[in-house]
Structure 1
Amino acid sequence: MDQIELVRDFNRYYTRRLGVLGDHYLGLSRPWSESRLLFEIGPDGVDVRELRRRLGLDSGFVSRMLRSLADQGLVEVRPHPQDGRVRVAALTTAGLDARDELDVRARESVGALLGQLTAGQRDRLVAAQEQVRRLLRMATVEISAIPDDSPAARFCLREYAAELDGRFPSGYSESALLRPGELAVTGGEFLVAMEESAPIGCGIWQPLAGEPGSVAEIRHVWISQSCRGLGLGRRLLSELESRAGEQGYRTFRLGTHTALPEAAALYRSHGYREIPLYDLKGYNQLAFEKVLP
Protein backbone atom coordinates (compact mmCIF):
# COMPACT_ATOMS: atom_id res chain seq x y z
CA MET A 1 0.00 0.00 0.00
CA ASP A 2 1.16 3.54 -0.69
CA GLN A 3 1.27 6.17 2.05
CA ILE A 4 -2.17 7.58 1.25
CA GLU A 5 -3.82 4.18 1.47
CA LEU A 6 -1.99 3.40 4.71
CA VAL A 7 -3.37 6.56 6.32
CA ARG A 8 -6.86 5.81 5.01
CA ASP A 9 -6.67 2.26 6.35
CA PHE A 10 -5.60 3.53 9.78
CA ASN A 11 -8.48 6.05 9.77
CA ARG A 12 -10.99 3.31 9.02
CA TYR A 13 -9.53 1.12 11.76
CA TYR A 14 -9.55 3.60 14.63
CA THR A 15 -12.96 5.11 13.83
CA ARG A 16 -14.43 1.60 13.91
CA ARG A 17 -12.45 0.55 16.98
CA LEU A 18 -13.43 3.64 18.98
CA GLY A 19 -17.10 3.22 18.06
CA VAL A 20 -17.65 6.64 16.52
CA LEU A 21 -19.71 5.36 13.57
CA GLY A 22 -22.82 4.14 15.38
CA ASP A 23 -25.84 5.89 16.86
CA HIS A 24 -25.11 4.76 20.43
CA TYR A 25 -21.63 5.98 21.32
CA LEU A 26 -20.31 4.30 24.49
CA GLY A 27 -23.68 2.56 24.92
CA LEU A 28 -25.58 5.83 25.32
CA SER A 29 -28.63 6.97 23.37
CA ARG A 30 -26.83 9.51 21.20
CA PRO A 31 -24.19 9.38 18.44
CA TRP A 32 -20.57 10.41 18.82
CA SER A 33 -21.16 13.78 17.12
CA GLU A 34 -23.70 14.89 19.73
CA SER A 35 -21.54 13.54 22.55
CA ARG A 36 -18.61 15.56 21.24
CA LEU A 37 -20.80 18.65 21.21
CA LEU A 38 -21.56 18.18 24.92
CA PHE A 39 -17.83 18.19 25.65
CA GLU A 40 -17.20 21.28 23.50
CA ILE A 41 -20.02 23.28 25.09
CA GLY A 42 -18.55 22.48 28.52
CA PRO A 43 -19.86 23.54 31.91
CA ASP A 44 -19.56 27.28 31.16
CA GLY A 45 -21.36 27.39 27.79
CA VAL A 46 -20.00 28.67 24.49
CA ASP A 47 -20.79 31.12 21.68
CA VAL A 48 -22.39 29.09 18.87
CA ARG A 49 -20.12 30.80 16.32
CA GLU A 50 -17.08 29.70 18.30
CA LEU A 51 -18.52 26.19 18.46
CA ARG A 52 -18.79 26.06 14.68
CA ARG A 53 -15.29 27.45 14.23
CA ARG A 54 -13.73 25.08 16.76
CA LEU A 55 -15.27 21.99 15.18
CA GLY A 56 -14.99 23.16 11.58
CA LEU A 57 -18.69 22.44 10.91
CA ASP A 58 -21.26 24.35 8.90
CA SER A 59 -23.98 26.25 10.72
CA GLY A 60 -26.80 23.99 9.53
CA PHE A 61 -25.20 20.83 10.91
CA VAL A 62 -24.40 22.44 14.26
CA SER A 63 -27.96 23.85 14.48
CA ARG A 64 -29.46 20.41 13.89
CA MET A 65 -27.31 18.84 16.61
CA LEU A 66 -28.16 21.62 19.05
CA ARG A 67 -31.87 21.16 18.36
CA SER A 68 -31.54 17.43 18.98
CA LEU A 69 -29.74 18.00 22.29
CA ALA A 70 -32.32 20.65 23.24
CA ASP A 71 -35.13 18.20 22.51
CA GLN A 72 -33.41 15.77 24.89
CA GLY A 73 -33.38 18.47 27.57
CA LEU A 74 -29.58 18.63 27.63
CA VAL A 75 -28.87 22.02 26.02
CA GLU A 76 -30.37 25.50 26.00
CA VAL A 77 -29.60 28.03 23.27
CA ARG A 78 -30.28 31.63 24.22
CA PRO A 79 -29.16 35.16 23.23
CA HIS A 80 -25.91 36.49 24.65
CA PRO A 81 -26.68 38.80 27.61
CA GLN A 82 -24.58 41.64 26.10
CA ASP A 83 -25.35 41.09 22.41
CA GLY A 84 -28.73 39.75 21.34
CA ARG A 85 -27.42 38.93 17.87
CA VAL A 86 -25.09 36.28 19.33
CA ARG A 87 -26.44 32.91 20.45
CA VAL A 88 -24.93 31.01 23.36
CA ALA A 89 -25.28 27.26 23.96
CA ALA A 90 -25.30 26.12 27.60
CA LEU A 91 -25.77 22.75 29.25
CA THR A 92 -28.80 22.22 31.45
CA THR A 93 -28.54 20.35 34.75
CA ALA A 94 -29.42 17.17 32.86
CA GLY A 95 -26.81 18.10 30.25
CA LEU A 96 -24.12 18.47 32.91
CA ASP A 97 -25.05 15.05 34.30
CA ALA A 98 -24.95 13.54 30.81
CA ARG A 99 -21.54 15.07 30.18
CA ASP A 100 -20.21 13.66 33.46
CA GLU A 101 -21.53 10.19 32.59
CA LEU A 102 -19.98 10.46 29.14
CA ASP A 103 -16.66 11.40 30.68
CA VAL A 104 -16.73 8.39 33.02
CA ARG A 105 -17.62 5.98 30.22
CA ALA A 106 -14.97 7.41 27.90
CA ARG A 107 -12.27 7.00 30.53
CA GLU A 108 -13.41 3.45 31.26
CA SER A 109 -13.35 2.61 27.55
CA VAL A 110 -9.85 3.93 27.01
CA GLY A 111 -8.69 2.42 30.29
CA ALA A 112 -9.91 -0.99 29.14
CA LEU A 113 -7.86 -0.64 25.96
CA LEU A 114 -4.73 0.44 27.78
CA GLY A 115 -5.22 -2.33 30.31
CA GLN A 116 -4.43 -4.90 27.61
CA LEU A 117 -0.94 -3.44 27.14
CA THR A 118 2.22 -3.53 29.22
CA ALA A 119 3.50 -0.32 30.80
CA GLY A 120 6.12 0.01 28.06
CA GLN A 121 3.54 -0.52 25.33
CA ARG A 122 1.28 2.12 26.87
CA ASP A 123 4.16 4.59 26.92
CA ARG A 124 4.91 3.88 23.25
CA LEU A 125 1.26 4.27 22.29
CA VAL A 126 0.93 7.64 24.04
CA ALA A 127 4.22 8.85 22.53
CA ALA A 128 3.10 7.74 19.06
CA GLN A 129 -0.21 9.56 19.47
CA GLU A 130 1.61 12.74 20.45
CA GLN A 131 3.82 12.42 17.36
CA VAL A 132 0.78 11.90 15.14
CA ARG A 133 -0.88 14.95 16.67
CA ARG A 134 2.18 17.12 16.08
CA LEU A 135 2.55 16.02 12.47
CA LEU A 136 -1.15 16.51 11.74
CA ARG A 137 -0.98 20.01 13.22
CA MET A 138 1.96 20.76 10.96
CA ALA A 139 0.12 19.41 7.92
CA THR A 140 -2.92 21.61 8.54
CA VAL A 141 -1.03 24.89 9.02
CA GLU A 142 -1.48 27.17 6.01
CA ILE A 143 1.16 29.70 4.95
CA SER A 144 0.16 32.57 2.70
CA ALA A 145 1.18 36.10 1.76
CA ILE A 146 -0.82 38.95 3.31
CA PRO A 147 -0.49 42.77 3.35
CA ASP A 148 2.01 43.93 5.95
CA ASP A 149 -0.54 46.37 7.37
CA SER A 150 -3.27 43.74 7.90
CA PRO A 151 -4.48 42.93 11.44
CA ALA A 152 -2.92 39.44 11.35
CA ALA A 153 0.44 40.84 10.26
CA ARG A 154 0.54 43.51 12.94
CA PHE A 155 -0.56 40.98 15.59
CA CYS A 156 2.35 38.72 14.70
CA LEU A 157 4.82 41.59 14.76
CA ARG A 158 3.59 42.80 18.15
CA GLU A 159 3.99 39.28 19.57
CA TYR A 160 7.46 39.07 18.02
CA ALA A 161 8.48 42.40 19.52
CA ALA A 162 7.07 41.54 22.96
CA GLU A 163 9.05 38.30 23.08
CA LEU A 164 12.31 39.97 22.02
CA ASP A 165 11.75 42.76 24.53
CA GLY A 166 11.70 40.14 27.26
CA ARG A 167 14.69 38.16 26.00
CA PHE A 168 17.13 40.86 24.87
CA PRO A 169 19.19 42.32 27.75
CA SER A 170 18.62 45.81 26.36
CA GLY A 171 14.98 45.20 25.44
CA TYR A 172 13.46 45.69 22.00
CA SER A 173 11.65 48.67 20.54
CA GLU A 174 8.67 48.29 18.21
CA SER A 175 10.17 51.11 16.16
CA ALA A 176 12.52 48.49 14.70
CA LEU A 177 9.63 46.55 13.19
CA LEU A 178 8.63 46.60 9.56
CA ARG A 179 6.44 49.65 9.00
CA PRO A 180 2.86 49.21 7.74
CA GLY A 181 2.92 49.47 3.96
CA GLU A 182 6.73 49.24 3.73
CA LEU A 183 6.77 46.19 1.46
CA ALA A 184 4.56 47.94 -1.07
CA VAL A 185 7.48 50.36 -1.54
CA THR A 186 10.52 48.08 -1.22
CA GLY A 187 9.08 44.90 -2.65
CA GLY A 188 8.98 41.57 -0.88
CA GLU A 189 6.29 39.65 0.95
CA PHE A 190 4.87 39.16 4.42
CA LEU A 191 4.06 35.50 5.04
CA VAL A 192 1.76 34.39 7.84
CA ALA A 193 1.20 30.87 9.17
CA MET A 194 -2.40 30.19 10.18
CA GLU A 195 -3.79 27.37 12.30
CA GLU A 196 -7.59 27.19 12.51
CA SER A 197 -7.92 30.84 11.46
CA ALA A 198 -5.42 32.01 14.11
CA PRO A 199 -2.03 33.55 13.18
CA ILE A 200 0.75 31.47 14.75
CA GLY A 201 3.86 32.57 12.87
CA CYS A 202 5.27 34.98 10.35
CA GLY A 203 8.29 35.91 8.29
CA ILE A 204 9.30 38.57 5.76
CA TRP A 205 11.55 38.69 2.74
CA GLN A 206 12.47 41.94 1.04
CA PRO A 207 15.26 43.15 -1.24
CA LEU A 208 18.33 44.08 0.79
CA ALA A 209 18.94 47.79 0.32
CA GLY A 210 22.38 48.83 -0.91
CA GLU A 211 23.34 45.38 -2.16
CA PRO A 212 24.05 44.81 -5.85
CA GLY A 213 22.39 41.84 -7.53
CA SER A 214 19.63 39.62 -6.26
CA VAL A 215 20.11 39.64 -2.49
CA ALA A 216 17.06 39.30 -0.26
CA GLU A 217 16.90 39.76 3.49
CA ILE A 218 14.75 37.56 5.71
CA ARG A 219 13.37 39.32 8.77
CA HIS A 220 10.98 38.94 11.68
CA VAL A 221 10.76 35.15 11.66
CA TRP A 222 8.47 34.34 14.58
CA ILE A 223 6.64 31.20 15.73
CA SER A 224 4.12 31.19 18.56
CA GLN A 225 5.35 29.48 21.73
CA SER A 226 2.42 27.05 21.51
CA CYS A 227 3.60 25.81 18.09
CA ARG A 228 7.33 25.48 18.55
CA GLY A 229 8.94 22.12 17.99
CA LEU A 230 6.63 21.24 15.09
CA GLY A 231 9.16 22.16 12.39
CA LEU A 232 7.19 25.24 11.40
CA GLY A 233 10.21 27.54 11.50
CA ARG A 234 12.00 25.42 8.92
CA ARG A 235 8.88 25.27 6.76
CA LEU A 236 8.45 29.04 6.95
CA LEU A 237 12.07 29.61 5.96
CA SER A 238 11.71 27.28 2.98
CA GLU A 239 8.56 29.10 1.85
CA LEU A 240 10.25 32.50 2.13
CA GLU A 241 13.22 31.28 0.08
CA SER A 242 10.95 29.68 -2.50
CA ARG A 243 8.79 32.76 -2.98
CA ALA A 244 11.78 35.09 -3.20
CA GLY A 245 13.48 32.63 -5.53
CA GLU A 246 10.50 32.88 -7.89
CA GLN A 247 11.32 36.60 -8.11
CA GLY A 248 14.93 35.86 -9.08
CA TYR A 249 16.61 36.10 -5.66
CA ARG A 250 19.34 33.54 -5.00
CA THR A 251 21.26 35.00 -2.07
CA PHE A 252 19.60 35.33 1.34
CA ARG A 253 20.85 37.11 4.42
CA LEU A 254 19.47 37.40 7.90
CA GLY A 255 20.56 38.41 11.36
CA THR A 256 19.86 37.33 14.89
CA HIS A 257 20.86 37.99 18.48
CA THR A 258 23.08 35.86 20.69
CA ALA A 259 20.17 35.73 23.15
CA LEU A 260 18.35 33.53 20.61
CA PRO A 261 20.58 30.45 20.27
CA GLU A 262 17.70 28.34 18.95
CA ALA A 263 17.29 30.75 16.03
CA ALA A 264 20.99 30.52 15.13
CA ALA A 265 20.78 26.72 15.35
CA LEU A 266 17.78 26.71 12.99
CA TYR A 267 19.55 28.87 10.43
CA ARG A 268 22.73 26.77 10.50
CA SER A 269 20.76 23.55 10.12
CA HIS A 270 18.90 25.10 7.18
CA GLY A 271 22.10 25.74 5.21
CA TYR A 272 23.02 29.24 6.34
CA ARG A 273 26.68 30.08 7.05
CA GLU A 274 27.84 32.78 9.43
CA ILE A 275 29.19 35.96 7.81
CA PRO A 276 30.38 39.34 9.13
CA LEU A 277 27.60 41.69 10.25
CA TYR A 278 26.10 43.54 7.30
CA ASP A 279 23.77 45.79 9.35
CA LEU A 280 25.37 47.64 12.26
CA LYS A 281 22.29 49.71 13.12
CA GLY A 282 19.88 47.13 14.49
CA TYR A 283 19.82 44.49 17.21
CA ASN A 284 21.61 41.79 15.25
CA GLN A 285 24.79 40.36 16.74
CA LEU A 286 25.15 37.43 14.31
CA ALA A 287 24.66 37.43 10.54
CA PHE A 288 24.07 34.54 8.16
CA GLU A 289 23.95 33.98 4.42
CA LYS A 290 22.67 31.25 2.10
CA VAL A 291 23.22 31.05 -1.66
CA LEU A 292 20.89 28.90 -3.72
CA PRO A 293 22.08 27.20 -6.93
Structure 2
Amino acid sequence: MSLVDEVRSFNRFYTRAIGLLERHLPASDLSLPEARVVYEIAQRRCTAAEIGRLLDMDKAHLSRIVGRLRARGLVASKVSPEHGRHLLLSLTPTGTAAFAAMEDGTREAIAALLRDVDAGSRQRLGAALRDIRAAFGEAGNSAPPVLRPLGVGDVGWIIHRQARLYHEDYGWDWTYEALVARILADYVAGFDPAREDGWIAERDGRILGSVFLMKSEEPQTGRLRLLYVEPEARGLGLGHRLVETCIDRARALGYRRLTLWTNDILLAARRIYQAKGFRLVDEAPHHSFGHDLVGQTWILDL
Protein backbone atom coordinates (compact mmCIF):
# COMPACT_ATOMS: atom_id res chain seq x y z
CA MET A 1 0.00 0.00 0.00
CA SER A 2 1.02 3.61 -0.49
CA LEU A 3 1.73 5.71 2.59
CA VAL A 4 -1.61 7.49 2.10
CA ASP A 5 -3.42 4.15 2.13
CA GLU A 6 -1.40 3.00 5.16
CA VAL A 7 -2.42 6.11 7.12
CA ARG A 8 -6.07 5.72 6.14
CA SER A 9 -6.04 2.04 7.07
CA PHE A 10 -4.49 2.83 10.45
CA ASN A 11 -7.05 5.57 11.08
CA ARG A 12 -9.91 3.17 10.42
CA PHE A 13 -8.39 0.64 12.80
CA TYR A 14 -7.50 3.18 15.50
CA THR A 15 -10.81 5.02 15.61
CA ARG A 16 -12.59 1.69 16.11
CA ALA A 17 -10.03 0.34 18.62
CA ILE A 18 -10.25 3.30 21.01
CA GLY A 19 -13.96 3.84 20.62
CA LEU A 20 -13.98 7.12 18.70
CA LEU A 21 -16.93 5.91 16.65
CA GLU A 22 -19.05 5.86 19.77
CA ARG A 23 -21.40 8.82 20.24
CA HIS A 24 -19.83 9.80 23.56
CA LEU A 25 -16.49 9.28 25.30
CA PRO A 26 -16.31 6.67 28.12
CA ALA A 27 -18.02 7.74 31.38
CA SER A 28 -19.20 10.94 29.73
CA ASP A 29 -22.01 12.34 27.64
CA LEU A 30 -19.56 14.56 25.74
CA SER A 31 -18.73 14.07 22.10
CA LEU A 32 -15.07 13.92 21.08
CA PRO A 33 -14.86 17.60 19.98
CA GLU A 34 -16.64 18.72 23.15
CA ALA A 35 -14.38 16.61 25.32
CA ARG A 36 -11.27 18.00 23.59
CA VAL A 37 -12.38 21.57 24.28
CA VAL A 38 -13.18 20.72 27.90
CA TYR A 39 -9.74 19.15 28.25
CA GLU A 40 -7.97 22.31 27.05
CA ILE A 41 -10.04 24.56 29.34
CA ALA A 42 -9.22 22.25 32.26
CA GLN A 43 -5.50 22.80 31.71
CA ARG A 44 -5.65 26.58 32.09
CA ARG A 45 -7.92 29.57 31.68
CA CYS A 46 -7.90 30.52 28.02
CA THR A 47 -9.92 32.23 25.33
CA ALA A 48 -11.89 30.50 22.62
CA ALA A 49 -9.49 31.99 20.07
CA GLU A 50 -6.51 30.33 21.83
CA ILE A 51 -8.27 26.96 21.78
CA GLY A 52 -9.10 27.42 18.11
CA ARG A 53 -5.46 28.06 17.25
CA LEU A 54 -4.26 25.15 19.36
CA LEU A 55 -6.73 22.63 17.96
CA ASP A 56 -6.94 24.14 14.48
CA MET A 57 -10.75 24.14 14.76
CA ASP A 58 -13.19 26.08 12.61
CA LYS A 59 -14.20 29.26 14.46
CA ALA A 60 -17.94 28.80 13.97
CA HIS A 61 -17.79 25.12 14.96
CA LEU A 62 -15.84 25.98 18.10
CA SER A 63 -18.26 28.77 18.98
CA ARG A 64 -21.18 26.35 18.84
CA ILE A 65 -19.35 23.86 21.06
CA VAL A 66 -18.51 26.52 23.66
CA GLY A 67 -22.14 27.69 23.56
CA ARG A 68 -23.42 24.18 24.26
CA LEU A 69 -20.95 23.73 27.12
CA ARG A 70 -22.07 27.03 28.65
CA ALA A 71 -25.74 26.09 28.29
CA ARG A 72 -25.10 22.84 30.14
CA GLY A 73 -23.36 24.64 32.98
CA LEU A 74 -19.96 23.11 32.30
CA VAL A 75 -18.10 26.24 31.23
CA ALA A 76 -18.15 29.83 32.49
CA SER A 77 -16.50 32.94 31.11
CA LYS A 78 -15.22 36.19 32.56
CA VAL A 79 -13.57 39.28 31.13
CA SER A 80 -9.79 39.07 31.11
CA PRO A 81 -8.20 41.55 33.55
CA GLU A 82 -5.42 42.08 31.01
CA HIS A 83 -7.61 42.68 27.98
CA GLY A 84 -11.18 43.92 28.35
CA ARG A 85 -12.32 42.47 25.02
CA HIS A 86 -11.15 38.93 25.78
CA LEU A 87 -13.32 36.37 27.56
CA LEU A 88 -11.45 33.77 29.59
CA LEU A 89 -13.08 30.34 29.71
CA SER A 90 -12.95 28.12 32.77
CA LEU A 91 -14.73 25.02 34.05
CA THR A 92 -17.53 25.38 36.55
CA PRO A 93 -17.65 22.97 39.52
CA THR A 94 -20.05 20.87 37.44
CA GLY A 95 -17.62 21.01 34.52
CA THR A 96 -14.70 20.05 36.75
CA ALA A 97 -16.59 17.00 38.00
CA ALA A 98 -17.55 16.02 34.45
CA PHE A 99 -13.94 16.38 33.33
CA ALA A 100 -12.68 14.19 36.20
CA ALA A 101 -15.19 11.46 35.36
CA MET A 102 -14.27 11.65 31.68
CA GLU A 103 -10.54 11.41 32.48
CA ASP A 104 -11.05 8.38 34.73
CA GLY A 105 -13.26 6.66 32.17
CA THR A 106 -10.86 7.31 29.29
CA ARG A 107 -7.84 6.10 31.25
CA GLU A 108 -9.69 2.93 32.25
CA ALA A 109 -10.72 2.31 28.65
CA ILE A 110 -7.13 2.69 27.37
CA ALA A 111 -5.79 0.55 30.22
CA ALA A 112 -8.26 -2.18 29.24
CA LEU A 113 -7.11 -1.91 25.63
CA LEU A 114 -3.48 -2.40 26.73
CA ARG A 115 -4.16 -5.09 29.29
CA ASP A 116 -3.15 -8.01 27.06
CA VAL A 117 -0.20 -6.22 25.43
CA ASP A 118 3.10 -7.69 26.65
CA ALA A 119 5.99 -5.59 27.98
CA GLY A 120 8.05 -5.70 24.79
CA SER A 121 5.09 -4.69 22.65
CA ARG A 122 4.32 -1.85 25.06
CA GLN A 123 7.82 -0.44 24.58
CA ARG A 124 7.56 -0.70 20.80
CA LEU A 125 4.11 0.89 20.89
CA GLY A 126 5.33 3.82 22.97
CA ALA A 127 8.29 4.36 20.64
CA ALA A 128 6.05 4.16 17.57
CA LEU A 129 3.64 6.73 19.02
CA ARG A 130 6.53 9.11 19.72
CA ASP A 131 7.80 8.54 16.18
CA ILE A 132 4.41 9.44 14.73
CA ARG A 133 4.29 12.69 16.68
CA ALA A 134 7.85 13.56 15.66
CA ALA A 135 7.15 12.77 12.00
CA PHE A 136 4.33 15.31 12.03
CA GLY A 137 6.54 17.92 13.65
CA GLU A 138 5.27 17.73 17.21
CA ALA A 139 8.19 17.66 19.62
CA GLY A 140 5.95 17.35 22.66
CA ASN A 141 7.37 18.01 26.11
CA SER A 142 10.29 15.61 25.86
CA ALA A 143 13.20 16.22 28.18
CA PRO A 144 16.74 16.61 26.78
CA PRO A 145 18.47 13.31 25.96
CA VAL A 146 20.36 11.62 28.77
CA LEU A 147 23.70 9.85 28.36
CA ARG A 148 23.85 6.44 29.98
CA PRO A 149 26.19 3.41 29.98
CA LEU A 150 25.65 0.53 27.58
CA GLY A 151 22.97 -1.99 28.44
CA VAL A 152 21.85 -5.35 27.15
CA GLY A 153 20.80 -5.12 23.48
CA ASP A 154 22.54 -1.78 22.83
CA VAL A 155 25.48 -3.21 20.89
CA GLY A 156 23.25 -5.03 18.41
CA TRP A 157 21.08 -1.95 18.03
CA ILE A 158 24.07 0.30 17.29
CA ILE A 159 25.34 -2.11 14.64
CA HIS A 160 21.92 -2.18 13.01
CA ARG A 161 21.29 1.58 13.13
CA GLN A 162 24.73 2.64 11.95
CA ALA A 163 24.56 0.22 9.04
CA ARG A 164 21.11 1.44 8.06
CA LEU A 165 21.90 5.15 8.42
CA TYR A 166 25.15 5.07 6.48
CA HIS A 167 23.42 3.09 3.76
CA GLU A 168 20.56 5.59 3.60
CA ASP A 169 22.80 8.67 3.79
CA TYR A 170 25.79 7.54 1.71
CA GLY A 171 24.87 4.28 0.01
CA TRP A 172 27.41 2.20 1.92
CA ASP A 173 26.93 -1.54 1.59
CA TRP A 174 26.75 -4.24 4.22
CA THR A 175 30.52 -4.53 4.56
CA TYR A 176 30.29 -1.45 6.77
CA GLU A 177 27.92 -3.38 9.03
CA ALA A 178 30.57 -6.09 9.29
CA LEU A 179 33.18 -3.48 10.28
CA VAL A 180 30.99 -2.03 13.05
CA ALA A 181 30.14 -5.53 14.29
CA ARG A 182 33.82 -6.45 14.42
CA ILE A 183 34.79 -3.25 16.26
CA LEU A 184 32.09 -3.70 18.88
CA ALA A 185 32.70 -7.44 19.28
CA ASP A 186 36.38 -6.73 20.04
CA TYR A 187 35.36 -3.93 22.41
CA VAL A 188 33.02 -6.19 24.40
CA ALA A 189 35.42 -9.16 24.42
CA GLY A 190 38.38 -7.14 25.67
CA PHE A 191 36.62 -4.38 27.60
CA ASP A 192 38.95 -2.61 30.03
CA PRO A 193 37.06 -0.26 32.38
CA ALA A 194 40.32 1.46 33.31
CA ARG A 195 40.89 2.51 29.70
CA GLU A 196 37.53 2.36 27.93
CA ASP A 197 33.96 3.62 28.13
CA GLY A 198 30.85 4.05 26.02
CA TRP A 199 27.70 6.16 26.09
CA ILE A 200 24.18 5.83 24.77
CA ALA A 201 22.13 8.98 24.21
CA GLU A 202 18.51 8.22 25.07
CA ARG A 203 15.23 10.09 25.41
CA ASP A 204 11.88 8.61 26.38
CA GLY A 205 13.33 5.13 25.99
CA ARG A 206 14.53 5.76 22.43
CA ILE A 207 18.22 5.59 21.50
CA LEU A 208 19.32 8.77 19.72
CA GLY A 209 23.06 8.20 19.34
CA SER A 210 26.26 6.82 20.81
CA VAL A 211 30.02 7.21 21.06
CA PHE A 212 32.86 5.05 22.40
CA LEU A 213 36.22 5.62 24.01
CA MET A 214 38.46 2.67 23.13
CA LYS A 215 42.05 1.80 23.95
CA SER A 216 44.78 1.59 21.34
CA GLU A 217 48.20 -0.02 21.05
CA GLU A 218 49.68 3.20 22.49
CA PRO A 219 49.09 3.35 26.28
CA GLN A 220 48.81 7.15 26.25
CA THR A 221 46.49 7.30 23.24
CA GLY A 222 42.75 6.66 23.31
CA ARG A 223 40.44 6.26 20.32
CA LEU A 224 37.11 7.96 19.76
CA ARG A 225 34.98 5.58 17.71
CA LEU A 226 31.54 5.05 16.25
CA LEU A 227 30.01 8.46 16.88
CA TYR A 228 26.53 8.68 15.43
CA VAL A 229 23.32 10.66 15.97
CA GLU A 230 19.85 9.69 14.78
CA PRO A 231 18.34 12.04 12.15
CA GLU A 232 15.56 13.15 14.50
CA ALA A 233 18.15 14.41 17.03
CA ARG A 234 20.48 16.19 14.64
CA GLY A 235 20.86 19.92 15.02
CA LEU A 236 20.31 19.76 18.79
CA GLY A 237 23.98 19.73 19.76
CA LEU A 238 23.90 16.05 20.73
CA GLY A 239 26.94 15.17 18.61
CA HIS A 240 28.97 17.89 20.34
CA ARG A 241 27.80 16.62 23.72
CA LEU A 242 28.78 13.02 22.96
CA VAL A 243 32.24 14.03 21.73
CA GLU A 244 32.79 16.35 24.70
CA THR A 245 31.81 13.53 27.08
CA CYS A 246 34.32 11.20 25.42
CA ILE A 247 37.07 13.84 25.62
CA ASP A 248 36.39 14.51 29.31
CA ARG A 249 36.49 10.80 30.10
CA ALA A 250 39.74 10.34 28.17
CA ARG A 251 41.33 13.10 30.25
CA ALA A 252 39.98 11.57 33.47
CA LEU A 253 41.53 8.20 32.55
CA GLY A 254 44.91 9.81 32.01
CA TYR A 255 45.20 9.70 28.24
CA ARG A 256 47.58 12.23 26.70
CA ARG A 257 45.91 12.28 23.29
CA LEU A 258 42.76 11.13 21.54
CA THR A 259 42.68 9.93 17.96
CA LEU A 260 39.92 9.05 15.52
CA TRP A 261 39.52 7.81 11.97
CA THR A 262 36.73 9.04 9.73
CA ASN A 263 35.95 9.74 6.08
CA ASP A 264 36.01 13.15 4.44
CA ILE A 265 32.38 12.94 3.30
CA LEU A 266 31.15 12.90 6.92
CA LEU A 267 31.01 16.68 7.01
CA ALA A 268 28.87 17.15 10.13
CA ALA A 269 31.12 14.90 12.22
CA ARG A 270 34.25 16.61 10.91
CA ARG A 271 32.88 20.01 11.93
CA ILE A 272 32.34 18.71 15.46
CA TYR A 273 35.89 17.33 15.63
CA GLN A 274 37.34 20.61 14.42
CA ALA A 275 35.28 22.58 16.91
CA LYS A 276 36.64 20.43 19.75
CA GLY A 277 40.26 21.02 18.72
CA PHE A 278 41.06 17.88 16.74
CA ARG A 279 43.56 18.42 13.94
CA LEU A 280 43.83 16.46 10.70
CA VAL A 281 47.17 14.62 10.55
CA ASP A 282 46.74 12.17 7.69
CA GLU A 283 44.40 11.22 4.87
CA ALA A 284 44.48 8.58 2.15
CA PRO A 285 42.11 7.26 -0.52
CA HIS A 286 40.60 3.82 -0.09
CA HIS A 287 37.82 1.72 -1.58
CA SER A 288 35.47 0.49 1.13
CA PHE A 289 31.79 -0.20 1.66
CA GLY A 290 31.24 -0.18 -2.11
CA HIS A 291 32.63 3.36 -2.66
CA ASP A 292 35.83 5.28 -3.31
CA LEU A 293 36.46 7.25 -0.14
CA VAL A 294 39.11 9.35 1.54
CA GLY A 295 39.96 8.21 5.05
CA GLN A 296 41.22 10.73 7.58
CA THR A 297 43.06 10.50 10.89
CA TRP A 298 42.48 13.25 13.44
CA ILE A 299 44.30 13.82 16.75
CA LEU A 300 43.50 15.88 19.84
CA ASP A 301 46.22 16.61 22.40
CA LEU A 302 44.75 16.39 25.87
Q: TM-score, normalised by structure 1?
A: 0.49
User: Which structure has the larger Rg?
Assistant: 2
